[in-house]
Structure 1
Amino acid sequence: MASGIILVSAAAPATAPKPQPQMDDPGGAALALFILVLLVGGWFALRTFVRGLRARKARAAVGESFVHFALEALVNAAKLDGRINDEERSAVARALEELAPGSEAAKVESAFARARLNKDELVAYLAARSRTFSREQKVALLKALMTVFVADGTFDETEHHALVDYTSAIGFDRQSAPEMLRDIARGFQRGSIT
Structure 2
Amino acid sequence: MTTAGNTATLDRRAGEDYAESAPAPAMPARTVVGVGLRAGVAAGAVMIAWEMTAAEIAREPTVVAGIVSSTWTPVTGIASFLLGVDALSASLAPGAIVLGLLVHFAMSAVLGVAGTAALVWVLGYRPGPVGAALCGFAYGLFLEVVVMNIVVTSIQDPDLVYRAAPEWTWWVAHGAYGIGLGLVAALLLQRRGEGGFTFQPTSE
Q: TM-score if structure 1 supplies the norm length?
A: 0.30
Q: TM-score if structure 2 supplies the norm length?
A: 0.29
